[in-house]
Structures are given as structure tokens and as C-alpha cells.
Structure 1
Amino acid sequence: MTAYALAYMRPQPPLHDDVFTYIERIQDTMDPFGGRFLVHNTQAEVLEGPFEGAYVLIEFPDMEQARAWYASDAYQEILPMRTDHIEGTTVLLRGVPDGYDPTATAKAMREAQNA
């Protein structure tokens, strides 16, 4: 099942040159794990709530590949180039399966809450 790395970054200009080097090198760290950008350096159209920052969304074939990418020596080598200069939060998320039914999820959540 597809997995995603989602990052919410709060960069403060001017950006340190390390950040540009990180961006230049990240794709090479993702390639061995089947990672590809779905969202990167785009402007958000905010519809609800406060928003100050930028999102990055990377797709991986599955959670194992996403975890392996994040833990890889290649990625860990460049990671401080970003984390030392940009505040942010990064999470890994499992995608939903084909045929996902949100009504079944709502039912299970309701039952769990009322148990």
C-alpha cells in the first residue's frame, strides 16, 4: 500500500545555502526507494484555518520503502542541511487501500467512541 512522507516546513528567509544543497541532493536519496515528489515548493491555497509555511509530499511504494529512505545513510547525511536551518515537522503516513470506504471508517470510529 502506498505511503507518504509529509513535511510541514516553516522556513525563514533568507535561506541558508545548505538548504539549497539539500534540495539539490534529496532526489538521489529517494530514487533507490521509489520516492517521488507529489508536492514541493508550491503555494498553498488556504481554505480554512491559519497557515504559515510550506508542505512537501513524497510518495513511496509502501511504508517499508518510506522508512528505509528516511533511515538511509544517504538521507541521514543530508538531513541536517535542512533541520539545522528550517523548523518543521515530518511524518510518514500509510495511504488508503483501493476501494476505501469512509463510511466504514466513520462507523468504526463511532462504535469505538461509544464503547
Structure 2
Amino acid sequence: MTEPVQKLRIDKWLWHARFFKTRSLAAKVVSGGKVRVNAQPISKPAYAVSSEDVLTFPQGDDVRVIKVLELGERRGPAPEARLLYDDLDPPKPREAAAPVPRFEGKGRPTKKDRRALQQTRSDLLE
């Protein structure tokens, strides 16, 4: 006899694989219609995924493309969770944030500096 194909709810798998901090957050993203399984949009957190499925979903500012390798039995530590999937499109490293613009490199402008700046701006408008 053949073994039945094992399946797991998608919200539970996303939580096991540590893509979302809570299972309810994973369910909210899925029910919002933002997740695709094998290029098919789904909107039910109870949708069953199995190994070899490809998931596409937003996470933060990135869109993740993940191939399910294993289903997992529990939500374990991060190194264990990384064994559950293969990242087909890893997120790009973020660039360092631009420093906050300062007034001529001296920090926040003083009241006198602001008045001078407003005066030059009003002169440009006239």
C-alpha cells in the first residue's frame, strides 16, 4: 500500500517555519488573500500544504518565494525551522539607512538659523 500524502494547514506551517510570530498573524495574512500556493491564490487558513508546494507571500517589505521541503511536527528553534523550506528568492540585503539630514552638519537649526532660512525662501518666491 502507498502511504497517504501528509498535509498541514498553511497557517500552522508558516508559524512552524517561523515566518510569522503567531499563528493568528499567519492566518490573517492567508485570509487576506495575500498568499499563493503553486501560483494559485488562496484565502483560507485551513488550506492544506504538502512537501514540494511553492508558497509566495509578503513578509515586511519583501515578497518571499518558498518551497516546502518538510512539514515539521513542532515550532522549534530557528535552525530547525530553516530545514523545513528552501528559499527560492532570498531577500536582498538591506542598504544602510540614510542619515537624518542635519542643518549644515551642525544638528538642529537654531531659531536664528530658521529665521534666516525662511527669509531666503521668501526671497526666492518673490
**Structure with higher helix content:** 1
TM-score (norm 1): 0.25
Query: Could you tell me the TM-score, scaled by structure 2's length?
Result: 0.24
Higher RCO (CA < 8 A, seq sep 6+): 1
- Structure exhibiting the larger radius of gyration computed from Cα positions: 2
